[in-house]
A = this chain, B = another copy of it.
Amino acid sequence: MAKLTEKIVAITGNAAVAQAMRQINPDVVAAYPITPQTDIAETFAEFVADGLVDTEYVTVESEHSAMSACVGASAAGARVMTATSSQGLALMWEILYIAAGMRLPITMTNVNRCLSAPINIHCDHSDSMGARDSGWIQIYSENAQEAYDNVIQAIRIAEHKSVLLPVMVNMDGFIVSHSIERVELLDDEVVKRFVGEYKPVYPLLDVENPVTHGPFDGLGGFYFEHKKAQIEAIERSRKVVLDVADEFKRISGREYGCFEPYRLDDAEVALVVLNSAAGTSKCVVDAMREEGYPVGILKLRVFRPFLARELSEALKHLKAVAILERATSPGSFGPLYAEIRSALYDLEARPKMVNLIYGLGGREFRPEHAKEAFGVCLKVAQTKRVEKPLGYLGLKEVEVIS
């Protein structure tokens, strides 16, 4: 495969991430292919085979091993990247906590796909949402451009001395991973300079200064204090995410925050969305604004750390908010809904809220669904009553024997 020199290219989300990884040129990649992430693992393996990167590519027998190899390589002192999806993320779940607990700045792309059963290879966010307690920083991407930009920024966030935590960059399976979009690639040199040389703090391979990684810390020890230190580290990442975004803007002209308000300031009702649904929803906002409806969007980019105070500030003026979720927590509301309600709990006047589940197992999210969601919000705003706090967008009407 030829080295890309064009600045503006038409590539898939997976190819964009692979290009970012090529430009970052990590020391170690340990990955296992899984639909719809496979392209990333495959394309990057080609870069390795073609000598375009210096990476040691570890071909492992499962995702549990992939993340374990990443942990070992990162402790050894390498800059480490990987990519996964769905059942892959689920299989490495145990090791996700270990990577974060050991404060290892691993960067991983997760191509969002639903979890079995039934078996289904298409997009939803149950995989990454299920890992929200693992201590990883989580960044979501609306499109291929954002996935590319986020992967590059993730390196800097993860490795920042005040953070030292793993970062997961998410994008929608197939919808973004397999769709060809216009992507502006930075020059290789620019990315190289931006990510800089990785200087591990306590590398195991520094035999002159032996250290012990991942020890036992039992009942009489300091497990609690270490968790507290880990929590403080992810708290510090709030500032680092923004600082890195500022610096990234200088090399790319593209602006990032922890979330993106879209025509939100003067809106009366809004949707909160993640990933690709934001694009569809923005189109609908524009169309409905033409018709005079006071609608807006809040697209969440950073879900961990969770920006409780900032989100409360950004949403508090609204009459009604629909939290759109491509994930569920059976027996409760969606993960995002509960946290956003919690964030706004202390406000004197609180927006009415509904939780709308959409797109599980890859069910399409179409403009009419965004319109339906705004319709629900507008009705709630008008009547000041929530009839159904939990709704579904795009469910087929079928007879279910349960």
Contacts and interface: CB of A to CB of B under 8 A. Distances in A.
Nearest to A213: B117
A102 B338 CA distance: 26
Given A223-B363, A227-B360, A361-B217, A98 B120 contact: no
A230 interface: yes
Shortest 6 CB-CB distances between A and B: which pairs?
A223-B361, A101-B117, A305-B331, A90-B94, A118-B217, A341-B342
Contacts of A332: 132, 304-306, 308, 339
Interface string A200-231: 00000000000000111111011111111111
Contacts of A226: 118, 400
Interface string A85-104: 00100110110011011110
Interface in A322-362: 327-333, 335, 337-339, 341-342, 344-346, 350, 352-353, 359-362
Contacts of A353: 345
19 contacts: A87-B94, A90-B93, A94-B115, A97-B130, A118-B215, A119-B214, A119-B215, A120-B216, A129-B133, A130-B130, A221-B361, A223-B360, A229-B402, A230-B330, A231-B330, A304-B331, A306-B331, A306-B333, A342-B345
Interface stretch (A148-156, A259-267, A291-299, A391-399): A391-399
Nearest to A345: B341
A370 interface: no
A287 to B, nearest CB: 25
A1 to B, nearest CB: 29
Contact of A218 (B122, B215, B333): B122
Contacts of A339: 332-333, 338, 342
A344 B345 contact: yes
A65 interface: no
A318 interface: no
Interface stretch (A22-30, A43-51, A181-189, A232-240): A232-240
Contacts of A395: 224-225, 228
A386 interface: yes
Contacts of A280: none
Interface of A: 64, 87, 90-91, 93-94, 97-98, 100-103, 114-122, 126, 129-130, 132-135, 137, 162, 164, 214-219, 221-235, 237, 304-306, 308, 327-333, 335, 337-339, 341-342, 344-346, 350, 352-353, 359-363, 386, 392, 394-396, 398, 400, 402
Contacts of A361: 217-219, 221, 223-224, 227
A396 B225 contact: yes
Nearest to A164: B402
B216 A119 contact: yes
Contact of A117 (B102, B235, B338): B102
B306 A120 contact: no
Contacts of A121: 218
A353 B341 CA distance: 13
Contacts of A216: 118-120
A135 to B, nearest CB: 4
Nearest to A392: B228
A402 B214 CA distance: 15
A345 B102 CA distance: 36
